[in-house]
Amino acid sequence: MTRSIRPRTLVAALALAIPTVLLGAPAAHAGPIDQTSGFYVNPQSSPAAWVAANPGDGRAGAIRSQIAQRPMASWFGNWSGDISQAVGRYVGAADAVDKLPILVAYNIPGRDACGGHSGGGAGSVGGYDSWISSFASAIGNRPAVVVLEPDSLGDFGCMSQSQINDRLGMLSRAVAQFRSKAPNTWAYLDAGNPGWVDANTMAQRLNSAGVANARGFALNVSNYFPTSDNANYGNRVAAALRNYGYSKPFVIDTSRNGNGSNGEWCNPAGRRIGTPTQLGGGAEMLLWLKTPGESDGNCGVGGGSSAGQFLPEVAYKLIYGY
């Protein structure tokens, strides 16, 4: 579609909101993202679908206004069917209303190998390479934000060196696919959270995974650490990347960190939604990457559920922090 250039664009706002020291992205990724009018709200997200199906439920109003009507990411994996069609539909819907979509790619072989609650992923290295190539091609020249493979660099403890090498290679090739096939996408490699590995180790892993060709890295995906803790950690990782000759900006998942972390990661009680998706805020962007109310797995207050299942009572409690 033909777009009109707006005087206050996303990129212009970023330039005002983010310290210059954090900006190290490839110039090729500064394309027509600045022509969108804001972040995309998916009318078919799981909380929106629940609200539509349960309009008489006493929790529906709060879930609608506080969660379903907020911009958040849509996740794509081996449940998505034809990935070209799934991504193309989602990005196309955002493009049609001149909004910036946020996507999470979650299909790497051995996904969540050490955590176990979200296991799965593509069946082979070649299968993943093909899948992520189709993902990037489906976005094409349209603007998007993509976070690549949560959990993938946070824990190598249950993996062999051969598996680690395969993973780093897949991530590096994935970043290259977005750089070449989706030039107006800002791609961020997942970099865990402040409670996982030290900043120098994470910088080394990011460098080996090709972050030099990405926009930057993502923190706190599906976790609960306070924004300030993530910002401090992200700045340390960015500083450590200078040992490799460059630095990168980062984004933070604030979807469920309003009450911080109690040390648990799998459906802990007493958490709260955090700052809604926005530019700046101590990072390049604060993003709702995990959908509030979607389960982390059969654990905690989500006992009996499966990872990704929407739980309205959990969503409702996240709004009020209990």
Give catalytic residue positions: 151, 296
- CA dist 60 and 213 (Å) reads 42
E strand or H helix at 139, and its extent? helix 125-139
Q: CB neighbours (10 Å) of residue 245?
A: 8
- CA dist 32 and 185 (Å) reads 9
E strand or H helix at 10, and its extent? helix 10-17
Q: Are 287 and 240 in contact (CB under 8 A)?
A: no
> Any known ligand binding at 265?
yes
Q: Are 141 and 32 in contact (CB under 8 A)?
A: yes
Q: Read off the DSSP letter of residue 39.
A: B
> Any known ligand binding at 196?
yes
- CA dist 115 and 117 (Å) reads 6
- CA dist 319 and 321 (Å) reads 6
Alpha helices in 156-282 (DSSP H): 161-181, 199-208, 227-241
Q: What is the token pair recorded at 305?
A: 């559920």
> Any known ligand binding at 50?
no
> Any known ligand binding at 223?
yes
Q: Is 310 helix (H, G, I), strand (E, B) or coil?
A: strand
Give how far Cα 7 sits from Cα of 4, 10, 11, 37, 267, Å: 10, 10, 11, 10, 42
- CA dist 94 and 140 (Å) reads 13
Q: What is the token pair recorded at 133?
A: 């190539």
Q: What is the CA radius of gyration of the chain?
A: 18
Provide the annotated binding site: 75, 196, 223, 265, 290, 294
Provide the annotated binding site for substrate: 75, 196, 223, 265, 290, 294
